[in-house]
Structure 1
Amino acid sequence: MSTNCQRTLVDFSKQTRRGSAFCFAFLFFLFCFYVFLFCFYVFLFCFYVILFCFYVFLFCFYLFPHFGSISARRGSEYALPG
């Protein structure tokens, strides 16, 4: 009787150890996944900020044609007469 009880306790402790290792691995996977998501969203945020700055630059470039060296090379349409 006591041998069966001891065997059951040993089996239970092995299962508990295996369960806690699985739980730790699962939590570690979740942590890595959330870190990956956070980095991905930071990357997307930076990408959209750069895109927004690019569009602001284009808007200023077309709104004020004197702005920038590319439009200054287009010819003498902005040159003063004389």
Structure 2
Amino acid sequence: MTYDEDIDALGLLCPLPVLKARKKLGTMQAGAVLAVIADDPAAEIDVPHFCAENGHEFLGQETAEGLGHGRAATRYFIRRK
């Protein structure tokens, strides 16, 4: 999936990946896509919940091979409202 901006939240525990996403989305144009790369398993629940609560569109997720610090990393895609 293509995206406009990304943030590296590897090694951060929730809620930090979501807080970084909120800050970055605040600087982006409506309709732009943000990729959040995280390896905290809780992000799988927290990122979609954050989107639903704040009106952003959760576009999905994909495995981010070779990026996690010994853990599986995932790239989450968010379209700014």
TM-score of the aligned structures, taking structure 1 as reference length: 0.23
Q: Which has the larger radius of gyration?
A: 1
Q: Which has the higher helix share?
A: 1
Q: TM-score, length-normalised on structure 2?
A: 0.23
Answer 1 or 2: higher relative contact order, Cα 8 Å, separation at least 6: 2
